[in-house]
Chain A
């Protein structure tokens, strides 16, 4: 996980120099830790799969799905039909990271026929607000969970109305995370939570221009209100 190849380190350094040269004030990189939220950095997804040709050490094939449990931060891989049968229809997971670069993220919504957890006990739900994570302090009365989608991925895909967590740039084929978008969700157990999906690229770089930057390495943070209330204050 910590193996950063020389080329990228060099680029990072160059980007750093560029920043130093062009900015008079120090760039404020927002701190992810707030002592209440859980921050997950560089969680490796299916790094052996690729969409396109010519990626070293990768095979063109479907990305394997993994499940994630908020409470024990556990990653559960679905490597075969047995794994799927064993885990999908349970309340043991809160998020499923699926499809290309494990970037399409489902909540566990047992009532939704299109959900990986369909038929299970999951009480998941999702919606979004375009506000910084720390400013989302409660589930206000105007928050309505989406009846049309139980996942977030590429903004506007596959339906034009789907909200996502990144833009996909046609010209560069690079995913650009949407800043200051916070997801309000319900966990598998129905508890209110907030979630920020931050990056799919290793090291959570602020800007990626290299198509072959190591991915998927997921960075995200979340806060689950365990008492069942709608209070999501993490300040």
Chain B
């Protein structure tokens, strides 16, 4: 509550200043007060879990085409502070990871510099942040459940133990910043030319023929990713599920989007996750 109070004061002072310095009324920009931020839950390096973080649960893709974007509102999250950040903070450095698009399945780091010729942009366009991400494809772990030739799982469900294994194997950030992706977003695996991704979308229910409840189901893969936060720190993240209750073997009865993920954050710019292990 202290934070929001201070913010209000600051905005009050700014608006006074604007009133004093402008002679014409119509040149005064309307000052929008930012909504209060939720309480900080993370203050130190460490491993944290987020379960059933609601995406935009007011939207659905039922009856819509695969290529429809569904109009889902973007969800912004601060790994550094451990809280959801309201959309009014999109162009600030208050958030580190955003979930946009269909069922909030497109993942972004906060990068204020990225705007496309087509008009689209990073959800943090205009922010001071230089965030980016790196998807970790561990071919040893992948081989246990995934066919890297046809880009389909060998089996479903994909056990969470594999996801944990790939995540745990990341002991440190070994890739240079210039190998990270700052320009694009992270999405589904090999879905309509998407390339490597973090989850398999079984559009036609190919993995469970004859079971109507198995069409249009997303299975998260053992594909952790490293996020460079808005403050320039590193975090490794594994996303388990888009469905409420984090089911290991989801079907159409499960409710989406509710995001469950785990991450390890290194405050202070370090690259060695193993220092946190006991």
Q: Is A158 touching B183 in the complex (CB atoms < 8 A)?
A: no
A173 touches B196 (CB 8 A): no
Residues of A within 8 A of B118 (CB): 155-156, 160-161, 163
| Chain A, interface residues (CB within 8 Å), range | 20 to 34
Are A170 and B185 neighbours in the complex by a CB distance under 8 Å? no
Q: Does A20 contact B (CB under 8 A)?
A: no
Name the residue in B120, B150, B192, B203 with the highest tally of chain A Cβ atoms < 10 Å from its Cβ. B192
Asked if B193 and A153 make an inter-chain contact with CB atoms under 8 angstroms apart, the answer reads yes
Find A81's partner among B149, B193, B195, B206 (CB 8 Å cutoff).
B149
Which of B149, B191, B203 is in CB contact (< 8 Å) with A158? B191
- Contact call B187/A158, Cβ cutoff below 8 A: yes
Using A62-B206, A156-B120, A160-B116 as known contacts, say yes or no to A52 and B65 having CB atoms under 8 A apart. yes
Decide if B117 touches A161 in the complex (CB within 8 Å). Answer: yes
- Residues 132-174 of chain A: 1 if any B CB is under 8 Å from the residue's CB, otherwise 0? 0000000000000000100101111111110100001010010
Known contacts A81-B149, A84-B149; is-contact A157 B67 (Cβ 8 Å): yes
Whether a CB of chain B sits under 8 angstroms from the CB of A186 is no
Q: Which residues from A are CB-within-8-Å of B192? A: 99-100, 104, 153-154, 157-158
| A149 vs B240: C-alpha distance when bound (angstroms) | 29
Please give, as numbers and ranges, the residues of chain B lying within 8 Å of A159 by CB-CB distance: 184-185
A71 to B178: give the CA distance in the assembly, Å.
39
Chain B contributes a number of interface residues (CB within 8 A of A) equal to 25
Whether B161 sits at the interface, judged by CB under 8 Å, is: no
Whether the Cβ atoms of B120 and A161 lie closer than 8 Å is: yes
Most buried by A among B65, B149, B206: B65
A114 touches B195 (CB 8 A): yes
Determine which of A51, A98, A113 lies in contact with B65 in the assembled complex, contact meaning CB atoms within 8 Å: A51
Give the contacting residue for A160; candidates B66, B120, B203; CB below 8 A. Answer: B120
Give complex CA distance A104, B150 in Å: 17
Which of A60, A154, A159 has the most chain B CB within a 10 Å cutoff? Answer: A159
Distance from A215 Cβ to chain B, minimum over Cβ atoms (Å): 14
Interface bits B92-127 vs A (CB < 8 Å: 1, else 0): 000000000000000000000000111011000000
Contact with B67, one of A62, A163, A168 (Cβ below 8 angstroms): A168
B66–A100 touching, CB < 8 Å: yes
In the complex the two chains form, what is the Cα distance from A114 to B121 in whole Å?
A: 23
B66 to chain A minimum Cβ distance, whole angstroms, is: 6
Q: Name the residue on A nearest B195 (C-beta).
A: A114
- By beta carbon, the residue of chain B nearest A88 is B149
Q: Are A104 and B69 in contact (CB under 8 A)?
A: no
Does B48 reach chain A (CB closer than 8 Å)? no
A152 — nearest CB in chain B belongs to which residue?
A: B193
In the bound complex, do residue A151 and residue B193 qualify as a contact, i.e. CB atoms below 8 Å apart? yes
Chain A residues lying within 8 Å of B120, measured Cβ to Cβ, are 156, 160-161
Measured CB to CB, the closest approach of chain B to A46, in angstroms, equals 14
Given A104-B192, A160-B184: A173 and B149 interface contact (C-beta under 8 Å): no
B189 to chain A, nearest CB (A): 11
Apart from A61-B206, A161-B183, list 12 A-B contacts with CB within 8 A.
Answer: A51-B65, A61-B204, A100-B192, A113-B196, A148-B184, A154-B67, A158-B191, A161-B116, A161-B118, A170-B65, A173-B67, A173-B68
Taking Cβ atoms with an 8 Å cutoff, the residues of A that contact B are 51-52, 60-62, 81, 84, 98-100, 104, 106, 113-114, 148, 151, 153-161, 163, 168, 170, 173
Q: List 29 A-B contacts (CB under 8 A).
A: A51-B65, A51-B66, A52-B65, A60-B204, A62-B206, A81-B149, A84-B149, A84-B150, A100-B67, A104-B192, A104-B193, A113-B195, A114-B195, A114-B196, A148-B183, A151-B193, A153-B192, A155-B118, A156-B116, A156-B118, A157-B193, A158-B187, A159-B185, A160-B185, A161-B117, A168-B67, A170-B67, A170-B68, A170-B69
Closest 10 CB pairs of A and B: A160-B120, A114-B195, A158-B194, A161-B116, A159-B184, A104-B193, A173-B65, A99-B192, A160-B116, A168-B67
